[in-house]
Amino acid sequence: MAEKITPRSVDYSQWYIDIILNAKLADYSPVKGSMVIRPRGYSIWERLRDELDRRFKATGHQNAYFPMFIPMSFLKKEAEHVEGFSPELAVVTHAGGEELEEPLVVRPTSETIIWHMYKSWIQSYRDLPLLYNQWANVVRWEKRTRLFLRTAEFLWQEGHTAHETKEDAIEETLRMLNVYKDFVEEYLCLPVIAGKKSESEKFAGAVDTYSIEAMMQDFKALQAGTSHFLGQNFAKAFDVQFQTRSGTLDYVWATSWGVSTRLIGAIIMTHSDDKGLVLPPTLAQEELVVIPIFKTDSKTDVLRYAQDVTSMLRDRGRRVVLDDDDTASPGWKFAEWEMRGVPIRIEAGPKDMAQGTVVMVRRDTGEKVTVKKDEIVQRADELLKAIQKNLFERAKQFRDKHTKDIADYESMKQYFSTDSAGVSDSNSGFARGLWCGSKECEAKLKADTKATIRCLPLDDQDDINGVCALCGAPAKHRAIFARAY
Amino acid sequence: MAEKITPRSVDYSQWYIDIILNAKLADYSPVKGSMVIRPRGYSIWERLRDELDRRFKATGHQNAYFPMFIPMSFLKKEAEHVEGFSPELAVVTHAGGEELEEPLVVRPTSETIIWHMYKSWIQSYRDLPLLYNQWANVVRWEKRTRLFLRTAEFLWQEGHTAHETKEDAIEETLRMLNVYKDFVEEYLCLPVIAGKKSESEKFAGAVDTYSIEAMMQDFKALQAGTSHFLGQNFAKAFDVQFQTRSGTLDYVWATSWGVSTRLIGAIIMTHSDDKGLVLPPTLAQEELVVIPIFKTDSKTDVLRYAQDVTSMLRDRGRRVVLDDDDTASPGWKFAEWEMRGVPIRIEAGPKDMAQGTVVMVRRDTGEKVTVKKDEIVQRADELLKAIQKNLFERAKQFRDKHTKDIADYESMKQYFSTDSAGVSDSNSGFARGLWCGSKECEAKLKADTKATIRCLPLDDQDDINGVCALCGAPAKHRAIFARAY
């Protein structure tokens, strides 16, 4: 119920957890750092996954499934990779009542086992490209966890592709970055900045990492998806060579890319309010809820009217639910369904029935409109589209409002110096500024302010004539700086 | 290629493996007992999963996701359950660089973690029924493994439901058994016998286990799905009580039910032949393949004709592929696509083009029909339906032919005494006979012949007047006896 939700202005982190628990999206598991995804949360994942899967297939990718257990020795074959993932591994040492000869790692990501298999599947340029994806669970044992955003086990997809040339692999890396950007913007209403990661933020084993970065309502950045150009690193580590068109042997070029259940955290944090969850219509388990409002004498007629309205919408393929529970008041139901994030509430009482109308209430703006019964299907369609559009536009305006151009280090430090548990306009957001490209600058900023370089936006690298906002040396890139989840 | 496949009559087990490897359905993984599901195999799983998921939702079930790691202590709470699963557990002892205080088990099945969660979600009869399902990977460390049929890690779904009354739970157990039976018969073309398991074959922790049993082409039985009535066993182990309608407290009644990637093994073993894979059209990645047949002078025209035919089918929503690779001969392609199990091959050569026809060849029967171009879409539709029907009917006739009524132990022993690596009509099949219900009889049969009671068929328990085929005591049930996977 809505009154259980801590306001964002008081404690943003608690607000987030309150929404998840009250809307029954997820629950804590008895195993530290793990979570249970409840049906209302899993239905968001299903809708998200199915649409993304459709887009993967439309771009020529196929799904496969690789084992979750990976021999420890495989991870060690790529030096940076094992260094990056070692601290987070869960290790199976015993199985079938015996100690294993070699411990097995539960996959933190699957490059190693996949490239081991690619060795036997790739002989010639005729076998390329291999455009594979898998939907799976992975484990990264993190010390600090938070429902959806960072959990020991999470669900994700990981694409792993193999190519003839460097150019093909880079093209694929950027293609999938764009698939992600279009998908999260169109389907999840999350405006994102697509860009390249700095050296210190890239994936362990990648040549280049690209990401899409979103802003949450506490102005922090959240990395919503990554796409990696792996060069020939894994092909060399697993000795995957192929016969080229000219008859020579060469190592295969690779990419990998992934998004996870973390996206659900991003959706919650971007759109919701103090009343509870707000969901894009595309993701909502129910697009509309019909709530009949009656007294004892009008009950039968109003219920029949509400059922009519519900059937009209259902017959047209809308996901609609009738809340005819007579042990709860309409006011309680309004709050409950607002908390659950249903995009449109339809109120139908004796007066509405007499006039042949209903009242439709938007979850995103609270706007109420009176609609004639024979226009309900049409108006529902229009309103759902309007909500989808508004959620994106609203989030984009919010992000732009909290993005500031900053040119020098004193301003940068001051910008990132204001923070509190609750959200207020004095909190820092994104800083847009020039950067010289040095690791030292980046490390200093992080030490001083906890802010990092989120990415070097791909579409914002023109006119780099100026000095680094961190050290004053000649600039090479334009970057987005922010604190991040 | 077809010549790589060992005939069933020579070595049935090798035939099965040859099909899987050559049709690229799966591959061996470097971790003993695990497998890699390749795209052509995974696409079968996707189609199967989506259809079954639709049927679960149509019967009121919702999906959720529970953590894969379960504290070892949870398993010990249900005595039979831990005894049944202990020998097969994979155990995580270290994570995040440290030894864990309590080892974590990788789920072999999820009753324990789910009932732990149900305790906090169920307070009253108003919270019931809970009808949850999850699609997940599970691990059972088996000594002897076989691709798809028995692997250390496999994919499955597990339904876990909670009910107010014993009757409700039993009704659910049988409802889901029937969902499975209808699904595998209609969609996978696998005729099955639905029945109750004997005490010694039931699930560890169940009151009653029901299964659907299929016959493979070597006449062995394969358990294709199970549905368990768990009574109050898990509710008691995890202390899940609810307030009843009369205001008292009672333990919740439970069911669980599952099918796995093993079904893909059953499909392969039931329908395929010595040329390779045979698939029900519902499951085939491509329903049709179009193969143009040309010499150099006719190439352009024939290719255009074949493209036309392909487009016609694709525009009508058919899954169709054009094999226009000009480095392989038509004959090689015929064998290759037969091996891959594509239900219909369309041959289009210069003569066909001149006559405005194509030749359609059924994978299941080899039957060829000449079809006018403007009737292709219609005939494809009819033929695909006919193939789906024929595969089921053929498998059912096969099973019935190899099911024998047996009334005494000597005949039973003789029936199960003939076996070889290759398949011949002298091999044993199903025996249908009466049983007294004693564990000792069952154990003796197994020791003497390796055959077990597969199930007590639900629709075949009338007229039990006679004596047990194993011991001669008065009979209580009619059973199906067979060797099994």
Residues of chain B with Cβ-Cβ distance to A123 below 8 Å are none
CATH number of the domain encompassing residue B297: 3.40.50.800
pLDDT band at B427 (very low <50, low <70, confident <90, very high): confident
Are B96 and A120 within 8 A, CB to CB? no
Given an 8 Å threshold on Cβ–Cβ distance, is B35 in contact with A67?
yes
Instruction: Establish if A276 belongs to a structural domain.
Output: no
* Whether A152 and A285 share a structural domain: no
Q: To the nearest 5 percent, what fractions of chain A are helix, strand and coil?
A: 40, 30, 35
The alpha carbon of residue B101 is apart from the nearest alpha carbon of chain A, in Å, by 11
Instruction: Assess if residue B279 is contained within a domain.
Output: no
Same domain assignment for residues B256 and B299? no
Average pLDDT over residues A256-280: 98
The residue count of chain B comes to 485
Residue A208's alpha-carbon distances to A14, A224, B250, in angstroms, are: 36, 17, 59
Q: How far apart are CA B337 and CA B345, in angstroms?
A: 8
| Gap from B64 CA to chain A (nearest CA, Å) | 5
Q: Distance between CA B479 and CA B435 in Å, rounded?
A: 6
CA dist., res. B65 & res. A156, Å (int)? 13
The pTM for the full model equals 0.96
Q: Do A17 and A166 have their domain in common? A: yes
Q: What pLDDT digit, counting tens, does each position of B394-412 carry? A: 999 999 999 999 999 999 9
* B282 inside domain: no
B62 in contact with A, Cβ within 8 Å: yes
CATH code of A172's domain: 3.30.930.10
What percent of chain A shows pLDDT beyond 70? 98
Q: Which pLDDT value is given to residue A32?
A: 85
Are residues A322 and A253 both part of a single domain? Answer: no
d(CA B285, CA B401): 31
Q: Residue A419 has what pLDDT?
A: 67
Do A260 and A302 lie in a common domain?
no
Does A31 map to a domain? yes
How sure is the predictor about A129, in pLDDT bands with cuts at 50, 70 and 90? very high
For residues A341 and A419, membership in a common domain is answered with no
Choose from B36, B105, B121 for mutation: most chain A CBs within 10 A: B36
Nearest CA in chain B to A50: B50
Give the pLDDT confidence of A207-227 residue by residue, as tens digits: 999 999 999 999 999 999 999
Give the pair of three-digit tokens for residue A430: 């994104």
Question: Do A391 and A414 have their domain in common?
Answer: no
A105 lies in the same domain as A148: yes
Task: Give the residues across from A106 on adjacent strands.
Answer: A69
DSSP state of B68: S
Give B2's pLDDT tier (boundaries 50, 70, 90): very low
**Residues 6+ away with beta carbon under 8 Å from A331:** none
What residues of B are in contact with residue A112 (Cβ under 8 Å)? none
Residues of B in contact with A42 (CB under 8 A): 62-65
Chain B positions touching A37 (Cβ under 8 A) are 64-66
B420 has a pLDDT exceeding 70: no
- Measured between alpha carbons, how far apart are the two ends of chain A, in Å? 27
CA–CA separation, B198 vs B221, rounded Å?
15
Say whether A472 sits in a helix, a strand or coil: coil
Query: What string of H, E and C letters represents the secondary structure of B119-153?
Result: HHHCCEHHHCCEEEEEEEEEECCCCCCECCCECCE
Cβ of A87 and B104 within 8 Å? no
Q: How far apart are CA B339 and CA A142, in angstroms?
A: 47
Do residues A265 and A271 lie in contact, with contact meaning Cβ atoms separated by under 8 Å?
no
Alpha helices in A198-324 (DSSP H): 233-237, 262-271, 299-315
Kindly provide the b/e burial profile for residues B60-99, where b requires at least 16 CB atoms within 10 angstroms of the residue's own CB: ebbbbbbbbbbbbebbebbeebbebbbebbbbbbbbbeee
Tell me: the pLDDT tens digits for A75-85?
Answer: 999 888 888 89
Q: What is the mean pLDDT of residues B284-306?
A: 95
Q: Above 50 in pLDDT, residue B310?
A: yes
CATH number at residue B462: 3.30.110.30
Mean pLDDT of B322-330: 94
Residues A466, A407 contacting (CB under 8 angstroms): yes
Any B CB within 8 A of A74 CB = yes
Looking at residue B204, what DSSP letter applies? T
At A6 the three-state DSSP class reads coil
Q: How far is B7 from chain A (nearest CA, A)?
A: 25
pLDDT of residue B1: 43
With an 8 Å Cβ cutoff, is B471 touching chain A? no
Phi, psi of A341 (to 5 degrees): 85, 20
pLDDT confidence of A191, banded at 50, 70, 90? very high
CB atoms within 10 A of CB A114: 25
- Is residue A13 included in any domain, yes or no? yes
* pLDDT band of A423, cuts 50, 70, 90: confident
**Residue A127: partners with Cβ closer than 8 Å, 6 or more residues away:** A121, A242
Same domain, B103 and B205: yes
Model confidence band, residue A1 (pLDDT cutoffs 50, 70, 90): very low
- Same-domain check for residues A261 and A309: no
Beta carbon pairs, A and B, within 8 Å = 157
Q: What is the mean pLDDT of residues A273-300?
A: 96
Task: Quote the CA–CA distance of B91 and B85 in Å, as a whole number.
Answer: 12
β-pairing, B253-260 with B249-251? unpaired
Q: Write a three-state SS string for B354-384.
A: HHCEEEEEECCCCCEEEEEHHHHHHHHHHHH
B452 near B190, Cβ under 8 Å? no
Q: Rounded CA gap, A59 and B75, in Å?
A: 44
Whether residues A177 and A216 fall in one domain? yes
Distances in Å between the alpha carbon of B447 and those of A167, A266, B219, B410, B416?
A: 64, 59, 19, 14, 12
Domain extent, residue B79, equals: 2-271
**pLDDT at position A3, please?**
55
Whether A346 contacts A309, CB under 8 Å: yes
State how far residue A112 is from chain B, nearest Cα, in angstroms. Answer: 11
Q: How many domains in chain B?
A: 3
Q: How far apart are CA A71 and CA A49, in angstroms?
A: 29
Percent of chain A's residues with pLDDT above 90:
92
Cα distance from A123 to chain B (closest Cα, Å)?
Answer: 15
Sorted by sequence, the CB contacts under 8 Å of residue B432 that are 6+ apart come out as: B403, B404, B405, B406, B460, B478, B479, B480, B481
Residues of chain A in contact with residue B136, where contact means CB-CB under 8 angstroms, are 137
Does residue A9 belong to any structural domain of this protein?
Answer: yes
Cβ of B92 and A106 within 8 Å? yes
- The two tokens of residue B159 are 């339904």
Let me know if residue A211 belongs to a domain.
yes
How far apart CA A302 and CA A293 sit, in angstroms, is 7
Taking residues B29-50, what's their average pLDDT?
A: 96
Please tell me the distance from the alpha carbon of residue A73 to that of residue A76, in angstroms, as a whole number. 5
**B392 within domain boundaries:** no
Number of Cα atoms under 13 Å in the Cβ half of residue A271: 34
Question: Are residues B69 and A153, on separate chains, in Cβ contact within 8 Å?
Answer: yes
Residues A41 and A147 in one domain: yes
B69·A46 Cβ contact <8 A = no
Q: Is residue A2 over pLDDT 60?
A: no
Mean pLDDT (chain B) is 95
ipTM for the predicted complex comes to: 0.96
Nearest chain B CA: its distance from A344 CA (Å): 22
pLDDT at residue B374 greater than cutoff 50: yes
Closest CA to A332 of A289, A271, A297, A367: A289
- Phi (first) and psi of residue A232, to 5 degrees: -110, 15
In the chain, the amino acid numbered B113 is I
Count of CB atoms within 10 A of residue A312's CB?
16
Tens of pLDDT, residues B93-122: 999 999 999 999 999 999 999 999 999 999
**pLDDT value at residue B419:** 67
A132 and B39: CB-CB below 8 Å?
A: yes
Q: What is the DSSP letter of B298?
A: G
Structure tokens at A358: 């209903």
Q: Is residue B292 within 8 Å of residue B329, measured between CB atoms?
A: no
Minimum-distance CB partner of B64 among A38, A117, A142: A38
As given in the structure block, the two tokens for residue B34 are 């695990």
pLDDT for A298-344, tens place per residue?
999 999 999 999 999 999 999 999 999 989 999 999 999 999 999 99
In B402-478, which ranges are continuous DSSP H helix? Answer: 409-415, 439-449
* CA B190 – CA B276 distance, rounded (Å): 18
State the CB neighbour count (10 A cutoff) for residue A245.
10
Mark which of B383, B416, B441 sits at the end of a domain: B383
Q: What distance, in Å, lies between the first and last C-alpha atoms of chain B?
A: 27
Q: CB–CB of B412/B470 below 8 Å?
A: yes
Q: Does A89 touch chain B (CB under 8 A)?
A: yes
8 A C-beta contact, residue A114 and residue A220:
no
Mean pLDDT of B323-337: 95
Nearest to B273 by CA among B325, B203, B323, B335: B335
Q: Identify which of B109, B65, B62 has the alpha carbon closest to the alpha carbon of residue A136.
A: B65
CB A289 within 8 A of CB A282: no
Quick one: pLDDT at residue B78? 86
Q: What does the mean pLDDT of chain A come to?
A: 95
Q: Closest chain A residue to B151 measured between Cα atoms?
A: A67
Average pLDDT over residues A102-118: 97
